Structure 1
Amino acid sequence: MTMSTSRVPNLLSQLPLFNELALNELDNIALGTSELRAVRGDKIFHGGEPCIGFHVVVYGRIKLALVSPGGDEKVVRIIGPGHSFGEALMFMEKPYIVSAQALEDTLLLHVLKSAVFTELDHSPEFAKKMLAGLSRRLHSLMSDVKAYSLRSGSQRVIGYFFKCDVNKNGDHFALDVGKAVIASRLNLTPEHFSRILRTLCERGLIEMSGRQITILDIEGLRSYNG
């Protein structure tokens, strides 16, 4: 895992959280920002470590997971390009409660708390964006609780399919991470997840080839309650 500060202002300007800041504001944030490169499998941080800022993904994907003392893990979020993590704990001055690991080659920006607090004092728009991001996170968490409590395993898998890039690519899309990671994210065992996929294939609702999925009956999939 390597870090530098060479391209930070330019990278910041391309991210939704920062793209409305003036050049001098970007320069101020950049003073407290480091560029971090990780390869698949690299740990970004472990649960229990101090949180002194937050991270933004430029490209790649990061897995956030709760890890038990025995090494078992529960994936709680998968973070993709343009999205951030760690803000809430940064504001609360609490240590990380999850571990973060790169799922593929990833470029991150780590923004120090001191730089964030300084900019919040001077930019209402930046403050609004941070609040909006935290609000979206809370809404997503409540949606997860609702899904785990009220929806079957099959309904969770189907819901995940419709969150993928179906609208962009017609009825074809690729699973963006491994099946075990998706299963954990949906609060399923890998075996249960595989059984659901087989059942959906056998019912003629989807077709699979590796990570590639084709939806054969979109209305049937929407109404499936298995």
Structure 2
Amino acid sequence: MAGTKIKVEEFLNKLPLFNEIPPEELKQIAESVTESHVGKGDIIFRRGDPCVGFHIVIFGQVKLAFTSPDGNEKVVEIIGPGHSFGEALMFMEKPYIVAAQALADTLLLHVPKQAVFDELERDTKFARKMLAGLSRRLHGLISDVEAYSLSSGAQRVIGYLLKSDAQHDGDQMTLAVSKTVLASRLNLTPEHFSRILHDLAAKKLIAVDGRNITILDIEKLRSYEGR
């Protein structure tokens, strides 16, 4: 993908955050945007690095995570195509509090904070959209904390499976990331995550083949999640 070139202005125009900006202003923003191709496993930024804008994923996946003093990694979020990260710290003018690493070959756009600040001063609609995006991110993080605090490990795993496109008996899904990364995202150890998949398979609710999972009994999965 190293030779891939995109039309930045056209891509930005498709994103909800930018799609109502007048063409001449969108062009100005696009001219300040930089592209970066990041290989699988490469670090995009480290905790403590200065935040001078925010990133948008064009293709690929990015993991946001931090490492505890004892060396264990906690995955905070997994960012896919069309989604962004880094906005909150950009506004706070604080360094990154997590590290970002590419989980696959990834193409990123970096929107500098000055371009964002200039547009915020020009357009109240843009400001509202930016606030809405940050609010959704906060709501998602609060939902995660609630799930970790009130839901069992099995409920968290089932909840993740039920958010996929596999919604009927016989439907299949492929885990988008490794089981280790997904376990950390769900606040589980890899061993606990594997045990849960094994138990669900033993109950004939799912079938597991590597990263491929087949839903065998969607109704029992739903009732199990609600316990």
With the shorter chain as reference, the TM-score category is over 0.9
Who is 2:154 aligned against? 154
Who is 1:190 aligned against? 190
Who is 1:96 aligned against? 96
Contact kept? 2:167, 2:218, Cα under 8 Å: no
- The CA distance in 2 between the partners of 1:112 and 1:170, in whole Å, is 46
* Displacement of 1:10: 2.5
* Displacement of 1:16: 2.6
- TM-score normalised by the chain length of structure 1: 0.93
Matches within 5 A, 1:1-226: 7-167=7-167, 171-224=171-224
Letter aligned with residue 12 of structure 1: L
* Displacement of 1:5: 9.1
- The CA distance in 2 between the partners of 1:127 and 1:96, in whole Å, is 22
Contact kept? 1:51, 1:95, Cα under 8 Å: yes
* Displacement of 1:8: 2.2
Contact kept? 1:5, 1:34, Cα under 8 Å: no
* Displacement of 1:172: 1.7
- TM-score normalised by the chain length of structure 2: 0.92
- The CA distance in 2 between the partners of 1:131 and 1:222, in whole Å, is 33
Number of residue pairs the alignment of both structures matches: 225
Change (3 A) 1:14 1:41: same
- The CA distance in 2 between the partners of 1:167 and 1:221, in whole Å, is 10
* Displacement of 1:18: 1.5
- The CA distance in 2 between the partners of 1:42 and 1:100, in whole Å, is 9
Superposed CA RMSD: 2.2
SS in 2 for 1:224: helix
Letter aligned with residue 172 of structure 1: Q
- The CA distance in 2 between the partners of 1:44 and 1:222, in whole Å, is 38
Change (3 A) 1:181 1:219: same
- The CA distance in 2 between the partners of 1:182 and 1:210, in whole Å, is 13
Contact kept? 2:172, 2:212, Cα under 8 Å: yes
* Displacement of 1:69: 4.5
What per-residue deviation string (whole Å, max 9, x for no partner) do you get for residues 136-178 of structure 1?
A: 0111011011101000000000011112222599722111111
Gap regions ≥5 residues in structure 2:
none
* Displacement of 1:27: 1.2
Contact kept? 1:61, 1:102, Cα under 8 Å: yes
- The CA distance in 2 between the partners of 1:170 and 1:113, in whole Å, is 47
SS in 1 for 2:11: helix
